């Protein structure tokens, strides 16, 4: 399996298919590069080079004891981009991966490495509620995630995709057992400690200054029925911080809309990439 080795010895697994302009996909918690199948196959067929990695502690990458925070995640991506010598790449992040994209582009994206960025159902600016972020989710929500993970990770990783992640808990939803099973499979490949610590990374990291720093075009895509990362305290705030931002809101679509509605998401991604 193709991997790179980071400065602290972690092996980061990645996929690198095709040729052409590079698109780099950053997955959400607690998943892996496999979560981007519907996008990677689409853009591979369109003549792009498609790249996706498993975040440390996730999927096929090393189950490290540390480094499960955004600065290290972004540094790992920087190491991958340098190894592959990526130029003018478009970085596309979903959920936690959107935070990873924001931190990477802001801190490591200079020198022609990055051409554009896309944040899909992404966590920036910051998820947790505070005096500065009164519309955020209470810390007790994330404490509940941690407790459920420790108590019975296998059950928790079934309940999330079977319910709010894909909107399968909504009346009239077309439920896919295969999608639920695939989410569970990806999650259980990773390390419990990494998933536990990543909850803090995606919920408490403040990306405000990252968003203000980014000087390439950024597309924000968000479903207005996102039950995992509510749109009012994420996309609708993030767009105000970007120098070159574009916001697309998808009525009724869930957090996992890249999987449930690729026929909508992929053409919009293509249009932004080609613009």
User: Which residues are part of the catalytic machinery?
Assistant: 95, 226, 255
Structure tokens at 94: 């979903």
Separation between Cα atoms, residue 41 and residue 45, nearest integer Å: 6
Residue 33 has what DSSP assignment? G
Per the CB < 8 A criterion, the answer to whether 22 and 90 are in contact is yes
Structure tokens at 134: 């009164």
Per the CB < 8 A criterion, the answer to whether 23 and 92 are in contact is yes
* SS3 assignment, position 206: coil
User: Secondary structure of the chain: what % helix, strand, coil (to 5)?
Assistant: 45, 15, 40
Q: Angle 236-237-241 (CA atoms, 0-180°, nearest 5)?
A: 125
Per the CB < 8 A criterion, the answer to whether 129 and 136 are in contact is yes
Per the CB < 8 A criterion, the answer to whether 232 and 135 are in contact is yes
- DSSP letters, 113-169, are TEEEEEEES---S--B--SS-TTSB-HHHHHHHHHHHHHHHHHHHHHHHHTTTTTTT
C-alpha dist (Å) from residue 90 to 46, 112, 119, 185, 207: 15, 11, 11, 28, 19
């Amino acid at each position: 399996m193709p991997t790179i080795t980071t400065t602290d010895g972690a092996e980061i697994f990645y996929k690198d298919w095709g040729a052409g302009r590079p698109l780099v996909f950053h997955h959400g918690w607690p998943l892996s590069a496999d979560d981007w199948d519907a996008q990677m196959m689409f853009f591979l067929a369109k003549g792009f080079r498609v790249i996706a990695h498993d975040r440390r502690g996730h999927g096929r990458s090393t189950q490290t004891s540390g480094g499960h925070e955004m600065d290290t995640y972004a540094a790992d991506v920087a190491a991958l981009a340098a190894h592959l010598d990526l130029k003018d790449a478009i970085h596309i992040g979903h959920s936690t991966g959107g935070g990873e994209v924001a931190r990477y582009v802001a801190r490591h994206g200079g020198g022609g490495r990055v051409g554009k960025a896309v944040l899909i159902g992404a966590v920036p600016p910051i998820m947790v509620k505070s005096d500065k972020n009164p519309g955020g989710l209470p810390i007790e929500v994330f404490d509940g995630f941690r407790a459920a993970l420790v108590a019975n990770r296998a059950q928790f990783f079934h309940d999330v995709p079977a319910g709010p992640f894909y909107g399968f808990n909504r009346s009239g939803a077309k439920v896919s057992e295969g999608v639920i099973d695939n989410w569970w499979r990806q999650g259980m490949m990773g390390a419990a400690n990494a998933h536990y610590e990543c909850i803090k990374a995606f919920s408490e990291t403040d990306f405000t200054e990252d968003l203000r720093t980014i000087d390439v075009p950024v597309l924000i895509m968000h479903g207005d029925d996102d039950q995992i990362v509510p749109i009012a305290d994420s996309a609708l705030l993030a767009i105000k911080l970007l120098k070159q931002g574009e916001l697309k809101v998808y009525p009724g679509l869930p957090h996992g809309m890249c999987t449930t509605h690729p026929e909508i998401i992929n053409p919009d991604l293509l249009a932004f990439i080609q613009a």
